[in-house]
Amino acid sequence: MAQNGDVVNGSPSKASNLTIEFPHISLAEDEGFTTALTELVNAGYSEAEAGIFKPGYLRTSASEIASFIKTGILVVASAPSPETTSKRIPLGCISIKKLAENRAELGLFAVAIEQRGSGIGRDLMDWAEKWCLDNCGGSGVAIAQLDLLVPTHFTHTFKVRLELWYTKRGYSLTGSRDFALDYPSLAPQLAGPTEYRVYEKTLV
């Protein structure tokens, strides 16, 4: 668990009393928490995937968020509610799916828009990579994998920035996948041609 004030990759995040963890399964039944997290993700992806999908597309739903919490694949960054310390406010999230003995896939990466630049995104990625190394690095090597959906009919400035950020973190483009094969129900909602790029980072 990373707490505010811990130095991660150079400097601490600016968020007050930040906690990063797999939330307790009971939070899957907390409608306020799952709704807030759903809105956070959808707001972030509405910008990150603007123009990639047809109007009306939403990245996730409260029921999907709840299922991710129940199955233990969603990591959440949160801070105490200013109204009561018994409640926590989600500030960001990232999913971790173990694919093989030494490989895990990272996804559903989002930070509350008002928290961008606070270091939460970096802290979430650091936490996820450490989890991958601790849980997929039995031989001393683990591979973190992530996918990036990039339109090929226009330059998406957010995707350009994100690719640069991943590259600076040590991720390398290793190929592409068929989005329609992975997500057959979502492919018809694409607004134009895209490339589903795969990035990997070796963790040691």
- All domains of the chain in start order, with CATH: 2-203 (3.40.630.30)
> Predicted confidence band at 188 (pLDDT cuts at 50, 70, 90)?
very high
Beta strands 19-21 and 2-3: pairing type? antiparallel
Query: Please, what is the Cα angle at 200 between 202 and 23, to 5 degrees?
Result: 85
State the chain's mean pLDDT as an integer: 90
Provide the 10 A C-beta neighbour count for residue 23.
Answer: 22
What pLDDT, in 10s, does the model give residues 123-135?
Answer: 999 999 999 999 9
Q: Give the Å distances, CA to CA, from 22 to 25, 42, 73, 158.
A: 9, 20, 7, 27
* pLDDT (0 to 100) of residue 162: 96
